[in-house]
Each structure stands twice: as structure tokens, then as C-alpha cells.
Amino acid sequence: MNFSKTLRRTVCAGLVAAGAVMGGSSWAQIGPAPTSASLNATAGPLAVSTSTVTVATGFGGGTIYYPSTAGQYGVIAISPGFTATQSSVAWLGRRLATHGFVVITIDTNTTLDQPASRATQLIAALNYVVNSASSTVRSRVDPNRRAVAGHSMGGGGALIAAENNPSLKASLPLTPWNLSSSFTQVRVPTLIVGSDGDAVAPVAVHARPFYASLPGTTYKAYAELNLATHFTPNSTNTPIGRYGVTWMKRFVDADTRYSSFLCGADHQAYATALVFDRYSQNCPY
């Protein structure tokens, strides 16, 4: 056996594996290849730690969920809806983190804050994680990979944040509410989730027009949940978790292993009428 050649191969393999976790040219593939079962599960492959934010500038505090394994990961901020607190979106924050993201679920300055204010607070929360969180959290963040998400008015805030911050990698508005239905300037890949039974933000007035206004040149998708309500995103939900993780992995991590779960065979096998009332997209991604 050529010991030096074996050693070189071992070192190279180790560097590639480290790159997949730490960032750089291989950061796109964090974690094992996705399967339908792994995306439907309530947690991903990574253990998660938490950090509480009690004092912050620009938003009302929150909780940071981050992979316990050292590495560099994309960072996502999630806003709750009108009158709600971070606890309503905690399940999604933890779920995303288990798939290799640093996630902050925020409390807003007041529970009555409107979408434009929530948009500003989402960006403030991202800046906090990148610049002011504990050294352990900061060491796990890739500041160039940022994304936003939100429920209801927080979803409206996620759309506004995407419109105002084109450097974001992804946006995930969940049963979004906003007075304006025009988002023609959004350049950030955006997945909008609506609910067919939404009586607070009816899809005909909110989610569907929001999606229709997004430019055709922007990567986008619209998933309308079947037999769901405005408040479905406030508790663990398999389609939201599955597609939320997939969207963030595809566009924050640029991991093309997830493409078929958005518009390929794996998506077609899952997205039956029992799951979605309708699903629109401008694939291929």
C-alpha cells in the first residue's frame, strides 16, 4: 500500500467533508441528501442549541436556534403575526435550524406592529445575529446568506423586507396579510403559502395577488394549503415544514439536491389535491 497516497486521499476527503459544514465552495451541501421522509419529519439531522435575546435594538427580543455542530450556516429571521409572539412560530424556527440554519424567531416591539414595521424588525434581527449575538452563535453564521419569513402581518413584513433588501437569499411569507398587493420590485426568491379557509387574510385578496404581482423573472412559488386556516402556520404542519425547509435549502444554501422537491418528481409525488388546493411556480430552479 502506498501510505503517502492513502494519507493524501484521507486528508482531501476530510477537507471536502469540512467544507460541506464550514462553508466555502462546498457549503451548498450541508447534511445528507434529502428524502421525502426526512423532509416530512418534525426534525432534521442536526442537534440544536438555543440562545435567548432579552435586550435588542430595533426589535423586541426573541430566541435563536442554531446547530450545535460548529460550522457556518445561513441565517433566517421569522416574525409572528398580529397580536402574536415568537412562541407561535417557534416550531418552524427549530425545524429550520435542525436542517442547518441559524434562526431567530422574534418578538416585535409591540404585538400590534404593522407589516412595514415588522419588515424593518426582521432586518434588525438578522443584523443582531450577525453582529451582536454571542460569539458561539456568530461563529456559526454566514453573513452573506440571509433570509426572512413570517406569519400573517409578519408574512406581509417578509414580503416588504424582500422588496427593500434584494441581497436576501429567500423569503417565506405564511398566510400573509398586507394592505398593498403589489410586489413587482421583489427580486428575492419567494415562496408564499396561503390557506384555502383563511378568513383573516383571504387568499383571493392577499396571498394570490401577492404571488401574481411577483415578477416572472424572480424565482417564486405559491402553495395553497387544503383544509387549512389563517392560523395553520402557528402549529407544526408537515407541508409548511417540508416546503419551508426545501425553499431555504435551495435558495439560501443553493443546494440543488432540493430542486426536485419543489418542481420535480418528488414534488409531484407529494403535492396531491389532499395537500394543496393549488400550487404554482416558475420552475425550473
Residues labelled as active-site residues = 152, 198, 230
Q: How far apart are CA 87 and CA 41, in angstroms?
A: 20
Q: How confident is the model over 153-195, as pLDDT tens digits?
A: 999 999 999 999 999 999 999 999 999 999 999 999 999 999 9
pTM, entire model: 0.90
Contact 97, 75 (CB under 8 A): no
Q: How confident is the model over 73-125, as pLDDT tens digits?
A: 999 999 999 999 999 999 999 999 999 999 999 999 999 999 999 999 999 99
Task: Give 45-281's CATH code, choosing from 2.20.28.90, 3.30.750.24, 3.30.450.70, 3.40.50.1820.
Answer: 3.40.50.1820
Q: How confident is the model over 207-264, as pLDDT tens digits?
A: 999 999 999 999 999 999 999 999 999 999 999 999 999 999 999 999 999 999 999 9
Contact 142, 27 (CB under 8 A): yes
- Spatial strand order of the sheet with 48-53 comes to 48-53, 62-67, 101-106, 73-79, 141-151, 170-174, 190-195, 220-225, 276-281
Q: Domain locations in the chain?
A: 45-281
Q: How far apart are CA 125 and CA 70, in angstroms?
A: 21
Q: What is the distance, to the nearest Å, from the Cα of residue 153 to the centroid of all Cα atoms in its chain?
A: 16
pLDDT for position 27: 61
Q: How many CB atoms lie within 10 A of CB 143?
A: 14
What is the band of 18 on the pLDDT scale with cuts at 50, 70, 90? very low
What is the band of 5 on the pLDDT scale with cuts at 50, 70, 90? very low
Query: Alpha helices of 150-259 — where are they, by DSSP H?
Result: 153-164, 207-213, 238-251
Contact 77, 126 (CB under 8 A): yes
Q: Which of 211, 233, 216, 273 is nearest to 105 (CA)?
A: 233
